[in-house]
Amino acid sequence: MAGRRVYQRYCKEIKALSLTIMELLELSLCVERGYYRDFFEDSRSIMRCNYYPPCPEPERTLGMGPHRDPTALTILLQDDVGGLEVLVDGD
């Protein structure tokens, strides 16, 4: 049960961070203030919140293959295990 509470809190905090980042994007793009917040806050768009707890045997994992995130904003927390790669045009 404690793990579920941690996950729920994590999602709540990430949502708040995401909305703040989207608000900053509004300012930089001269978009009407509150446009993105309204769009994302009322669930017209999907927010996917993934939390992967530490793997006890990371050397035995295969990870994920190349993929694209189908979201407007992706927030990643890179830990000391590494492995995250971001490619643009194959580089």
Least confident of 4-8, 13-17, 21-25: 4-8
Number of H helices, E strands in the chain: 2, 0
Of 29 and 6, which is predicted with more confidence?
29
* pLDDT tens sequence across 42-55: 655 666 777 777 77
Predicted pLDDT at 28: 93
Closest CA to 39 of 71, 7, 75: 71
pTM to 2 decimals?
Answer: 0.64
Q: What is the pLDDT of residues 34-43, one digit of tens each?
A: 888 777 776 5
- Beta-carbon contacts of residue 73 (< 8 Å; ≥ 6 apart): 18, 21, 22
User: What total of structural domains would you count in the chain?
Assistant: 1
